[in-house]
Structure 1
Amino acid sequence: MKVLEHWADEHGLFHDRDAFGNLRICKPASPGHEQAPGVVLQGHLDMVAQANADHPHDFTRDPIDTYVADGWLHARHTTLGADNGLGVAAALAVLGDDSLTHGPLEALFTLEEESSMGGALNLAEGWLNGRILLNLDSEDRGQVYIGCAGGADVVVEAQFPTSALRDDEQIWRLSLTGLVGGHSGIDIHKGRGNANRLLVRVLRVLEPSGVRLVDYHGGTLRNALPREAFASVALPNEETVAVQRRLEALEQALRAELAGIDEGLALALTPCTMRSDQALTATASHLLVNALHAAPCGVERMSVEVPGVVETSNNLGVVNLENGCFHLCALVRSLRDSATDDIADRFAALFSLIGARTRVENAYPGWTPDPESSLLARFRRLHQQCLGSDPEVKVIHAGLECGILGGKYPHLEMISFGPQIRGAHSPDERVDIASVDEFWQLLRSLLEDLANGQAASMCRPPAGNQRAGEINDRF
């Protein structure tokens, strides 16, 4: 945040923060365009910090290690930060471009989008002056978004009884790794494995062998499809060989189910060196595994009004058990707030049967589509003019901040667009470099068009692609 404020000072631009810490940087209109509609360029400053388990990386200190392959920018073994680093970089490039004709500009950089939508939820009212908001946080080339799902975090907590290990029990480490993971909204319909769902399924199959949970750690973020999950279990010695054979069969069965979609799944059972003399009681372990096995997970319903779009889903994102203390955080998404409420209530009803407490946090509304928007019509015309094709008009099953911002500023006319990003929220995150150039052309052209009130002539980057390069430099 201080880096951006220092940058604004260097460029002579006014900046301020609201009470939550969201940052606004303002730039006056180009001379003669003071009466043009004010535009808010909006993106979020945080990123999903994910690294492969075998790759030590401190996101508070270590730089992202990037490389280019086949026209795509990647990071080695970590998330890239293109979500939403490219949107932030584009807004800064606009603010720093004195050759661009534009109306009054405000760049809004929100906080905590990935973790809770906290920045948008706590955004000051009566602070922004613009009439148009361009959200720069979409991830599909050739598409423009005019609506999104709302959502809520469902948190389940409980304290379960434990008992001492028996003389005939040994602790083993059960791991499920190798899944692709991804975004819990835009990737939820692709049939990828959820490590929590799958490892709980394995535990359920192993129950007849007398397995008792000692601890469990699966997933790290409620908005990322969990790629890995680990459980320490107390296992009777006489069952070890049978369990190993059962796991081999389960691994083959799960790989067959995920064939062509998520082919890296691996199951392993290894002796555990942890020093614990306690495990959940047999009854508590049984009830917890059963409840997790029955919990809603994945696509709940597809939309009828918007064909091909998920209407309601749930992601079992984070599951933890330590010393009998259980914590679950799931992310429910829906185009209908009533459906979000229903999934949350189903969690409460299910987990109340085993004595767990459920609460709903960080609820946020969806963004109602307006296909007749004049801003959308303008963008479609410019897309055809600049790129020679009509954009796909989309509604996304993910939590763009537009729904929340629109609730606080009902007069705002909004669209969302961006470059081509794939694998967001996972170490496979990458961005198509050519699409960044197209994104930059469209953004410049739209701002010029809005300033002039007519078709702009900037359907190309400046000579030498200088500004498109600046976006990459800032990113």
Structure 2
Amino acid sequence: MSESRTLFMAFEPWRFFAKFLSIHRSTFPSRLLRKKEVATREPHMTNKILEKLRPKKLWQKFYEISQIPRPSGKEEKIQNYLVELAQKKGLNHRMDEAKNVLIEVPPSKGYEQAPVVTLQSHTDMVCIKRKSSKHNFERDPIRWKLLDGWLGAKDTTLGADNGIGVAAMLALLEERKLCHGPLELLFTTDEERGLVGAFCVQPSFLKGSYLLNLDSEEEGSVFIGCAGGVDTIGTLSLKWSSPPEGKIAYRVGLQGGSGGHSGLEIHRPRANGIKLLARALHHLWEAGIQFYLAHLEGGSKRNAIPDRAEAVIFFSPADKTKAQVLLANLETQFQQEFSQSDPQLELSGKKVSAAKSQPVLSPAQSQKIVQLLLALPHGVIAFDQHLENFVQTSTNLAIVSIQERKLVVETSQRSSLESAKQAVQAFVRSVFQLAGAKVKHATDYPGWQPNPQSPLLKTLKETHKKLFKREPVVKAIHAGLECGVFKRTFPHMHIASFGPSIEGAHTPEEKVNLASVQRFYRWLKEILFHLAKSKK
């Protein structure tokens, strides 16, 4: 703690006022309270970071929203922030039933006849932290750290996905010299859990002829197509009993995987924590160690490659040494297999205490679960036959857990072809059914067919070449974008997606490149000016 902060905290009247605020929180105007909260939470280091960042308007907005908790499905605070900002600036705004917020920005003088442009980003963020972190995503602000030209967060996801897009849209409200036509700023909710907000946008909600989605993560690229997707969940009923006498409880844990986005990084040969844990348990069984499964969990998000998993098993004390040796050997094998992609990978085994009443599964049921996890596919199923190195179809074994004494396994499938998506969905469903699990599907969302002849794409190419002396790379993305949903709801719209360079999305390694943000924002403003000069 710095000396100045120590003196500040020692100022007793401030302690009294802080206590008074905590008691009478609900009676204070939200705008006043927010200012006090940010002032008291703002670390000195963040001030130094902000001073170095450009463009100032964008980074100031990103800092503000980084102080506001915004987990998927719990976005009330960021929604209130947006509404209050619109009210303060006297801008027309509205909120639909899904809590999507739309702010209308009038055109610059002389550009009233320009086509309406919709800019869109989602307000929620994937909330993943390191196991050692005590961060509370429903309460704590994100803590920044500089990383040699990049901005990251301390032990958590940063929220640059899609907070940078939100910040860019808000920064435009502070621009005084930018010439633009009528704008719609659309802030959608709950994107990370299945494009929920986008699905709820009604045809009457938007007027735009063009839609710029700011949720891509490769600077210098324009995305004009995306994969559709579906979640497949298997639930297996279990019969529990007390462990036999004389058994010990043993925790087997796989941790330190790199994880990552299950669409953008599924082509990388990264470890799946659930699959490796299943392999470890299978090797124990093959070595003659008969065990009773008591606990099983792994992964945390359907759209993230699981970076860890753990199980608690009961077996004979006579097998403890054999298990330790076997797991140590397996750890070496796993580390060799994933030495480049997952350098922090660890496999551990440890005797733990457990209540005598701890329910367990029979060896037969335990083996069946391990076999199910081994059989479920994970990774790339097929590459596109027309676009080089572009993943067409994939599946992610995402989460395993025990819920209400049942095994729940959650997976997600993606494909840019609807027929291929249905095929891999049937593949996964069949594996579940062979194991006797009940199967359901959720969050089925459409893909987005590329249109290389779009006039919006032409504008993006021309403006990028004007600013940076080269055209952007035109791509499709193996991930679910809200663009696919919007294209189905607004078939007349011309849509494109772009953004700055972001790495490690959906992991505590998430970081955004500072220089690319500056170029991204400059390009965005040039695009808006170019579109404003065109007539309907």
Match of 1:16 in 2: 94
One of 298, 304, 320 as aligned partner of 1:240: 320
| Partner of residue 372, structure 1 | 453
Decide whether the 8 Å contact of 1:80 with 1:429 is kept in 2: yes
Alpha-carbon separation, structure 2, partners of 1:123 and 1:154: 25
Q: Is the partner of 2:529 in helix, strand or coil?
A: helix
Unmatched runs of 5 consecutive residues or more in structure 1 = 455-475
What are the superposed Cα offsets for residues 389-436 of structure 1, whole Å, 9 maximum, x if unpaired? 221111110111100111000011011010111000000000111111
Q: Residue 425 of structure 1 aligns to a residue in which SS?
A: coil
* 1:417 equivalenced with 2:417 (yes/no): no
TM-score in terms of structure 2 length: 0.83
Aligned residue runs from structure 1 range 289-308, under 5 A = 289-308=370-389
Among candidates 259, 262, 270, match of residue 350 of structure 2? 270
Counterpart residue identity of residue 213, structure 1:
L
Aligned to 1:471: none
Bigger mean CA offset, 290-299 vs 118-127? 118-127
- The residue that corresponds to 2:511 in the other structure is 430
Residues 241 and 361, structure 2, Cα contact 8 Å, conserved in 1 = yes
Give the partner amino acid of 2:429.
A
Residues 1:199 and 2:277 aligned together: yes
Distance 1:215 1:336 in 2: 38
Q: Which amino acid aligns with 1:45?
A: T
The answer to whether the aligner puts 1:385 opposite 2:463 as a matched pair is no
Write the letter of the residue equivalent to 1:77: D
Residue 441 of structure 1 aligns to a residue whose secondary structure is helix
What does 1:6-405 correspond to in 2, within 5 Å? Answer: 6-207=84-285, 208-275=288-355, 276-321=357-402, 324-405=405-486
Contact 2:274 2:306 (8 Å CA) reproduced: yes
Identity value in percent = 39
Q: Provide the secondary structure at the position in 1 that maps to 2:389.
A: coil
Structure in which a larger fraction of residues adopt strand: 1
Q: TM-score normalised to the size of structure 1?
A: 0.93
Runs of 4 or more, structure 1, over 4 Å off, are none
The question of whether the paired residues in 2 share the 8 Å contact of 1:215 and 1:323 is answered with no
Shift of 1:347: 2.3
Deviation at 1:166, TM superposition (A): 1.3
Aligned to 1:462: none
Q: Deviations over 1:284-334 (max 9, x none)?
A: 111111111000111111111221111111111111025741111111111
Relative contact order higher in (CA < 8 Å, ≥ 6 apart): 1
Rounded to whole Å, the distance in 1 between the matches of 2:181 and 2:504 is 35
Structure-1 separation of matches of 2:435 and 2:497: 43
> SS at the partner of 1:293?
helix
Tell me, yes or no, if the aligned pair for 1:174 and 1:269 is still in contact at 8 Å.
yes
Aligned partners of 1:296 and 1:343 also within 8 Å: no
The structure that is helix-richer by fraction is 2
CA distance in 2, matches of 1:20, 1:50: 24
Q: Root-mean-square deviation (CA), in Å?
A: 1.3
- Cα deviation, 1:211-239, whole Å, max 9, x if unaligned, reads 22111110110111111111111122221
Structure 2, gaps ≥5 residues long: 1-78
Partner Cα distance (2:267, 2:151) in 1: 25
Q: Which moved more, 1:432-441 or 1:276-285?
A: 276-285
Structure 1 distance, partners of 2:445, 2:534, is 34
SS in 2 for 1:209: coil
Query: 8 Å contact 1:214–1:323 — kept in the other structure?
Result: no
Distance in 2 of aligned mates of 1:69 and 1:177: 24
Q: CA deviation at 1:97?
A: 1.9
**Distance (whole Å) between structure 2 residues aligned to residue 97 and residue 8 of structure 1:** 15
Displacement of 1:126 after TM fit? 2.0
Residues 323 and 10 of structure 1: is their aligned pair in 2 closer, same or farther, counting only changes over 3 Å? closer
Alpha carbons 2:203, 2:489 under 8 Å: kept: yes
Question: How far off its partner does 1:273 sit?
Answer: 2.1
Question: Structure 2 residue aligned with 1:445, among 501, 526, 533?
Answer: 526
Contact 2:190–2:196 under 8 Å retained in 1: yes
SS at match of 1:182: coil
